[in-house]
Structure 1
């Protein structure tokens, strides 16, 4: 019987040699070498929270499998000797389209947390998005990054807290507010729950049972009354949130979590400044739909009227190439740099970013794209799954 055209081998050739653990960042040949080492450094509960999704983790898997739907048709005899990987967002030009996504509580993976990430971002000049639930203060991050960062906002059900967070971020010089709308509930995170069951530590420092305790220990909530705050997620949000935020701040507003052309159209109608196609890495829904699959629909709806970023499932330079070919402006990565952080601290983050950058560079050269502007849909062959 002949296998379907889109079938993949059960095990890629190089996987047969992944039976050792690396001991230095330079030994990592791809992102998955860092993942393997990171697992040995992180407590079970923290690891499960990082890698898990919702229910059967099918959306986490879909975010990886979705890339197999799109294949690249290389161009030949194209001069790529003067490669230009740069992209421009809101007037600032970045050397690559790789952006550091916000990930909560990074000190759960390494003592240097967000500061180590900021230092690595500075070294390679990557745009960094600071998480609402960061464990390092924004002042510490800015000192390490030495440039303003974008700030994520979890719009809680408590408007007073939301106001306080926005004002703090604006006061820190954040030019862009990344409003996370793809995480209305944390119900069904079975992998994370199993990780807790298998973790014998007593964790009262960060997971205090007192009202608002988990947030009192996070820098962004300093000075805010969190006693009634039980979660930063809420299912009370509507599109009325956008004008309320507009009245509150002069920062540009990006919506993180758009997963349909219809919502992209509504985002345009509400005059947001950009969107991130995201399903929270598969952590908050079991839709079974990957972000890369929905990207073309969103691109059509937006019609070039605002920048479109995307995250969830990006592990290879070729993944980034495919997203840009489908119309994304830039790509945000989360778990890969956290694996680097957990494995080797700042040096691991640096290696993760280096790997992704070099792989994307290689993709541009081998596929025949001299600059990001030349990467378009004509490079892709779409197969049915």
Structure 2
């Protein structure tokens, strides 16, 4: 250690380990299984070898929070620790946008609270020193089943926006889904991620714009177009409106009204004629629109927002390649139906024909295991990584992903599962 290096040995080791894993993550010869082991190691803060459990609290960092709010990502004990830090870092209206559900936010709350209705069955005397968390979707293998859900306008949370998120995801191998109205182009996000990302499509009500967005995404290598179908009825984002009251800034410069102004800072609309567009969400969409989209999408077509058996059965008839069970993170409708509760009927209706993913309320590794046990192929996480982004930028996102992966690996070991296929309906008990 030279005289300018004032890090403690533990801090230096942590930095060196992270840099080493970043180096390996960029390697074209690293296998998915090896990357999975590295993800688990980073999350646990140990080497890739199995390590003995430790309960020595003196080994934990003693950095102090300020007024109960963490001041560095490594202080976080769980992903919830990032939300107060994000709130402190953001203007009131921007935090309100991130925090808001619809109406009284009941569906938003139930998305997470419903996980408490599901107990986990633990198993004993199984060698779980080596755990493989890799999953394959559309021929692409990821070292973790935790994907990053599309979240719009991430420039409202941090100047580096989706690029910072993608760089963090590159280290841990998480799949990324980019929103149509993201603050960063799909080309830049793909470059930052170092691999193709999925593209979530807000179709607009102008087919020529829809077609141009799809062509651009596929030209950038997007293997899947994810059509959002859960924003057709409008919404009442009371929490956002309430926080906006406390925001003393003049927001008209960015939110002056009109579609052209709304997307003027959204790079996916650069050089597009949006003069005929009146609505981002395509409120007149029917299954005929899905058929029309199916004809132009060269890769996989995913529907995001399906929550019932009936719509799943119809989706299969229209050639959909996957479904994401979603209520837009509790931001679509005040249905009081959490996505984890809707998941089993969608899985049953799909009957193994297509992958079923899910988002909404995922805050713990145990939540991830419960969804996989109920038939999900993978899960998508939204707000937690945005809390990390808002609070600390790329390091905050990386910390959130590491915590979720660490927790997931821990609960996998406790149920005796060494790979995802060993997580089954027998791993959980759904309380009525």
TM-score (norm 2): 0.83
RMSD of aligned alpha carbons: 1.4
Q: Aligned to 1:173, what secondary structure does the other structure show?
A: coil
User: Offset of 1:126 from its aligned partner?
Assistant: 1.0
Alignment match, 2:180: 132
Whether 1:176 and 2:215 are equivalent positions in the alignment is: no
Q: Is the 8 A contact 1:295 1:326 kept in 2?
A: yes
Q: Is the 8 A contact 1:215 1:226 kept in 2?
A: no
Q: Is the 8 A contact 2:83 2:387 kept in 1?
A: yes
User: Offset of 1:383 from its aligned partner?
Assistant: 1.2
**C-alpha distance in structure 1 between counterparts of 2:337 and 2:271, whole Å:** 40
User: Offset of 1:168 from its aligned partner?
Assistant: 1.2
Q: How does 1:112-131 map to 2 (within 5 A)?
A: 112-131=160-179
1:161 corresponds, among 209, 225, 228, to 209
User: Offset of 1:209 from its aligned partner?
Assistant: 3.1
**C-alpha distance in structure 2 between counterparts of 1:302 and 1:187, whole Å:** 29
User: Offset of 1:76 from its aligned partner?
Assistant: 1.2
User: Offset of 1:226 from its aligned partner?
Assistant: 2.0
**C-alpha distance in structure 2 between counterparts of 1:325 and 1:190, whole Å:** 34
Alignment match, 1:295: 343
1:150 corresponds, among 176, 198, 222, to 198
RCO higher in structure (CA 8 A, sep ≥6): 1
User: Offset of 1:189 from its aligned partner?
Assistant: 1.2
Instruction: Render the CA deviation track for 1:314-334: whole Å, top value 9, x for unaligned.
Output: 000000000000000000000
**Structure 2 alignment gaps of length 5 or more:** 1-64
**C-alpha distance in structure 1 between counterparts of 2:336 and 2:276, whole Å:** 34
User: Offset of 1:203 from its aligned partner?
Assistant: 2.0
Alignment match, 2:390: 342
Alignment match, 2:376: 328
Alignment match, 2:318: 270
User: Offset of 1:229 from its aligned partner?
Assistant: 3.0
User: Offset of 1:197 from its aligned partner?
Assistant: 2.0
**C-alpha distance in structure 2 between counterparts of 1:77 and 1:180, whole Å:** 44
Alignment match, 2:93: 45
User: Offset of 1:93 from its aligned partner?
Assistant: 1.1
Decide which moves more: 154-163 or 322-331.
154-163
1:234 corresponds, among 267, 282, 285, to 282
The aligned length equals: 368
Alignment match, 2:15: none
User: Offset of 1:231 from its aligned partner?
Assistant: 3.1
Decide which moves more: 229-238 or 74-83.
229-238
Alignment match, 1:280: 328
Q: Is the 8 A contact 1:45 1:199 kept in 2?
A: yes
